[in-house]
Amino acid sequence: MDLISFIRNIPDFPVPGIIFRDITPMLANAAALNFAVEKMIEPFKEANIQKVAAVEARGFIFGSLAANKLGAGFVPIRKKGKLPFKTDTEIFSLEYGEAVIEAHVDAFNEGERILLIDDVLATGGTMAAACRLAERQKAVIVGISFLCELDFLNGKKMLPSNVHTVLHF
């Protein structure tokens, strides 16, 4: 299946000169969405993944479906102030300032084998912060999977090894 045919290019969004890769047509097509998730987890199917962690918001879509397919639990990694229980916080740099993500302090167990998922790998800062949260709780990061990667931003250099991406732009 040609997943790229389900991605709509929106020029000059959110600012002039940017081409936004809109995945909502893929999300609306059951076969394409299922195929995309299968491709995202393909290298990790036999890796004994115990939990899938994903960054909000679109990462939740792929992460929860991946967790279900892998028979694993799901961990939401959210923006600051969105989780109801005691959290572990990670601050990371953006192009213009800082951002904060959080996970519950009991999100991962020591030695637990996890897969981290998000929709797009751009600069890598958000996922690198998610990795630090998981590592601080002594989880074992088996892999990181993305639907799309913006290769020209070289975000993979910010991440540990075993990064898998389905589509490259």
Report CA torsion sign: 168, 28, 2, 66. positive
Which of 53-58's residues contact partners 24+ apart within 8 Å by CB, and which partners? 53/77, 53/103, 53/107, 53/108, 53/114, 53/115, 53/116, 53/117, 53/130, 53/134, 54/116, 54/117, 54/118, 55/101, 55/116, 55/118, 55/126, 55/127, 55/130, 56/82, 58/23, 58/118, 58/119, 58/120
Q: Please indicate whether residue 102 is annotated as part of the active site.
A: no
Choosing from 58, 113, 132, 135, the catalytic residue is 58
> Is 58 considered catalytic here?
yes
The set of catalytic residues is: 58, 95
